[in-house]
Structure 1
Amino acid sequence: MAVEVKVPTLGESVTEATIGEWLKKPGDPVKLDEPIASLETDKVAVEVPAPVAGVMGAYKVEVGATVEVGAVIATIEDAQSAGETVQVAEREQPQPADQVPPAPAVAPAPATDDHADGGTTLSPAVRRAVLEHGVDPSAIKGTGKDGRLTKEDVLAAAKAKKDEPAPSVSQAAPAPTATGERREERVKMTRLRQTIARRLKGAQEEAALLTTFNDCDMTAVIEAREAYKDLFAKKHGIKLGFMSFFAKASCLALKDVPAVNAKIEGDEIVYHDYVDISVAVSAPNGLVVPVVRNVDALSFAEVEQAIASYGQKAKDGTLTMADMSGGTFTISNGGVFGSLMSTPIINPPQSAVLGLHRIEDRPVARNGQVVIRPMMYLALSYDHRIIDGREAVTALKIIKEAIEDPMRLLIDL
């Protein structure tokens, strides 16, 4: 008896998704709650779990198709009926004239090796790495829980493959002659990329965007990190990074300048007495902004732990809709990619975003002397409909002063 697999509830206000990838093939054994498909929504990738144990049946929709919540996308059958279905399907499958028809299929046995290719349960991040680097997952020994493959296992195998000696020149095939042909490739935008494009363009068209800049001497923060990084890591089990300093400094600014932490709804301004910071992180399918909530009430360690957790979930493709919803202010760190200066775009309905950039030694004047300091450019983009220039400049100045003198973070100045 076949059991229908339906699109699960995807989150508030999300009614449809796109089939991004099938994680199981027809005839593969399936365990209860094992992921069988990956759906792409406007914000995150969502895995569809198997409602029962059995054997993967037929697909009802193809990769790239748009499906609504509750739609049937596949079936799962018990092992006996699945074996009969596969045999019938293979008999009906047209065979090339020069090939001998294969022997009737036998119902597959339950998989015993979770990291072998075939009955594998690979996470979306691992599957993407396998496809990207062209390695055979069955030839890689997993180091994860129960011997499962991790992304690091795939990357290590790809590196080892790259380091293998190239075949001898005598055996190499002759290089094709350059014809001067110019090629183009068309790839359909993912649902996430379409949403990013639509939201950013909408922000430009609706908001009155303006950016104010300042530079920041990172000497004090760098010295604080160097002095306490070992004790911090030993006590909290997490590294002390720059983001927690900027998150807490932003809290000071947002409390003193409430408009920067507000939003427009219709003809009203909504002010928040809490600070939920969206932290822009890079994911395989594009930029995502999970939300660290109540940052004003968190410790440095709790901020760092939350950011690290979201960063790992973004790499693994396991962020949920709940992780992405809300947010009153955004911090985007382009410095990790080498950006010197930028004008970040706000994340609607938020009214401001702080852009961080790379740190570089530059000559600056201190007490009448030219000295070398580790400097960073800061950028605050804001919606001029709700935030005046004076407020934006004041907020950025508070952040700058808190970073240059971290004691302000302790005594709330």
Structure 2
Amino acid sequence: MSTEVKVPVLGESITEATLGEWLKQPGDPVKADEPIASLETDKVSIEVPSPVAGVMGAHGVNVGDTVSVGATIGSIEAGDGAAATPAPAATPAPAPADTAGQQAPASGDAPAALSPSVRRAVLETGVDPATIKGTGKDGRLTKDDVLSAKAAPTAKPPSDGGAAPAGRADAAPAAEPAVRREERVRMTRLRQTIAKRLKDAQDTAAILTTFNDVDMTAVIEARTKYKDLFEKKHGVRLGFMGFFVKAACMALKDVPSVNAAIEGDEIVYHDYADISVAVSAPGGLVVPVIRDADQLSVAGVEKTIGDFGKRAKDGTLKMDEMKGGTFTISNGGVFGSLLSTPIINMPQAAVLGLHRIEDRPVVRDGQIVVRPMMYLALSYDHRLIDGREAVTFLVALKNAIEDPTRILIDL
């Protein structure tokens, strides 16, 4: 008996996706609701669960093919997989090569149970997942586990002191000249969408960037003083983003145009703050939305961001979590960025870029002192936001960060 595997509903207005990878191969045993394939949409990766328990049948489509909602992409056959997966011979066949020309890891059916992001990391690094101890839930491998295993030093064979082995008159042969290689990799649907949206933003909006800097002394002191108590009470680490999101919400109330959008010949003002936060995912940056961030506490913001970051790495963010947003914050400082001019996340009117914290000399009360400083960058649509409003927003944000008590008393 055969059961068809169909493309599930992908979300409102999403009618098709690209098959990113098969997580199960023909003959592999499959449990009910176990992921068997990964689909790439314009925004996120979605796993396709098996409708029943059985054995993976033939693949109906290939990796990279575009599939529509409701289309049949494969089948699940009756059985437990025992007959379809016999024990390997004494000399197993070599594993297929991955896109980089390296041999893919051969570790039984272990890769089939990995999440899309982990499986991709395994293929890219060539690390055998069977040799790695997982640190995720129930001992599952994470992407960080794979990258850490790749970065771990490997033992080198002991030197023979330069002496040639017995029976050899010559020393070691000269090294062969380096071979120059190129690799062509098809852009993922997510990367194509990111490229299109960024270019559309530049073609549509009159983008201008205004800069300021902020003294992080007070926030760093508050974080150092309360981080242990904060984590004990709320179960999440106290970071800097919680402060910046709350400070931004206050500044957005002072300067409503920064929280607005242009629709046709109308300006739409929002009396709420849905803050989009850029987080890193295997296929590129994704921008989930903190709904009603102005109504959340710092702890609520930190919990939401932490959850987004984890699920972005696992590829389990939902489509609805990526929609909307009235203002975006992008923190390039976590990657070491000193200064940047971020691009607007259309149809929003502005985006705030955060950067690394760096000790710099500044003047305080006529004295040159060293302070932990961060550059702030506000890119905005000049069709809607004037320079005065952009500067006013940044100054309000700066004041709240340099005196966090303002966040507490909404000043």
Q: TM-score range by the shorter chain?
A: 0.7 to 0.9
1:146 Cα deviation from its structure 2 partner: 4.2
- AA matched with 2:275: I
Q: Which has the higher helix share?
A: 1
Matched residues in 2 for 1:72 and 1:372: separation? 63
Matched with 1:207 is 205
Q: 1:76: which partner in 2?
A: 76
- 2:215 alignment partner in structure 1: 217
Matched position secondary structure for 1:386: coil
2:287 match: 289
Contact kept? 1:57, 1:82, Cα under 8 Å = no
**Residue of structure 1 in register with 2:61 after alignment:** 61
1:118 aligns with 2:117: no
- One-letter amino acid of the counterpart of residue 137, structure 1: P
CA separation of 1:82/1:71 partners in 2, compared to 1, >3 Å: closer, same or farther? farther
Inter-partner Cα distance in structure 1 for 2:132 and 2:213: 48
2:290 aligned partner, one-letter code: V
Give the letter aligned to residue 70 of structure 2: G
Percent identity, aligned pairs only, is 72
Match of 1:24 in 2: 24
Residue 176 of structure 1, CA deviation: 4.8
1:131 is matched by which residue type in structure 2?
A: L
1:251 to 249, 254, 257: 249
1:260/1:351 contact within 8 Å kept? yes
Are positions 1:355 and 2:347 aligned together?
Answer: no
What is residue 107 of structure 1 aligned with on the other side?
none
Q: Does the residue aligned with 1:247 lie in a helix, a strand or coil?
A: helix
Deviations 1:27-85 (A, max 9, x none): 1111111100001111011000111111111111100111111111111111289959x
- Of 263, 266, 279, the match for 1:265: 263
Alignment deviations for residues 76-133 of structure 1 (CA, whole Å, 9 cap, x no partner): 111289959x99xxxxxxxxxxxxxx9xxxxxxxxxxxxx731641111221232233
1:228 Cα shift? 1.3
Q: Does 1:177 align with 2:200?
A: no
Instruction: Give 1:10-409 correspondences, 5 Å limit.
Output: 10-79=10-79, 117-118=108-109, 120-160=112-152, 162-166=153-157, 176-178=175-177, 182-409=180-407
Relative to structure 1, the CA distance from residue 175 to residue 298 in structure 2 (aligned partners, 3 Å threshold; closer, same or farther) is: farther
Cα displacement (A) at 1:155: 4.1
Alpha-carbon distance in structure 2 between the residues aligned to 1:138 and 1:224 = 44
Deviates more, 1:362-371 or 1:119-128: 119-128
| CA distance 1:173–1:256, change in 2 (3 Å) | farther
Tell me by how many angstroms 1:139 deviates. Answer: 3.4
CA contact (8 A) 1:330 1:354 kept: yes
Q: Residues 304-354 of structure 1, C-alpha deviation per residue, up to 9 Å, x if partnerless?
A: 111111111111121111221111100011111111111100101111000
Give the distance between the partners of 2:42 and 2:395, measured in 1 at CA.
35
Contact 2:54–2:81 at 8 Å: present in 1 too?
no
Q: Secondary structure at the match of 2:385?
A: coil
What is the CA-CA distance between 1:175 and the residue it aligns to? 6.2
Check whether the contact 1:117–1:137 (CA below 8 A) recurs between aligned residues: no
Cα distance change on mapping 1:235 and 1:394 into 2, 3 Å: same
Amino acid at match of 1:354: L
CA distance in 2, matches of 1:49, 1:173: 54
User: Do the aligned residues in 2 keep the contact of 1:278 with 1:331 (CA within 8 Å)?
Assistant: yes
What is the rounded CA distance, in whole Å, between the counterparts of 2:173 and 2:123 in structure 1? 27
Q: Secondary structure at the match of 1:79?
A: coil
State the secondary structure of the residue aligned to 2:325: coil
CA distance in 1, matches of 2:82, 2:228: 57
Decide whether aligned partners of structure 1 residues 80 and 314 sit closer, same or farther in structure 2, where only a CA change above 3 A counts. closer
Matched, 1:412 2:410: yes
1:270 Cα deviation after fit: 1.2
Q: CA RMSD for the aligned pairs?
A: 2.5
TM, length-normalised to structure 1: 0.87
Name structure 1 gaps, 5 residues minimum.
88-101, 103-115
Residue segments in structure 2 that go unaligned for 5+ positions in a row: 87-92, 94-106, 166-170
- C-alpha distance in 1 between matches for 2:159 and 2:298: 56
| Secondary structure in structure 2 of the residue aligned to 1:353 | strand
Q: Deviations over 1:199-221 (max 9, x none)?
A: 00000000010111111111111
Cα distance change on mapping 1:117 and 1:302 into 2, 3 Å: farther
CA distance 1:135–1:166, shift in 2 (3 Å): farther
TM-score under structure 2 normalisation?
0.87
- Change beyond 3 A, Cα 1:257–1:156: closer
Distance in 2, Cα, partners of 1:342 & 1:251: 22
Query: Distance between the aligned counterparts of 1:231 and 1:81, measured in 2?
Result: 51
- Aligned-partner Cα distance in 2 for 1:384–1:166: 62
Does the 8 Å CA contact 1:16/1:67 hold for their aligned counterparts? yes
C-alpha distance in 2, partners of 1:78/1:371? 74
Partners of 1:308 and 1:317 in 2: how far apart? Answer: 14
Counterparts of 1:183 and 1:155, CA distance in 2 = 23
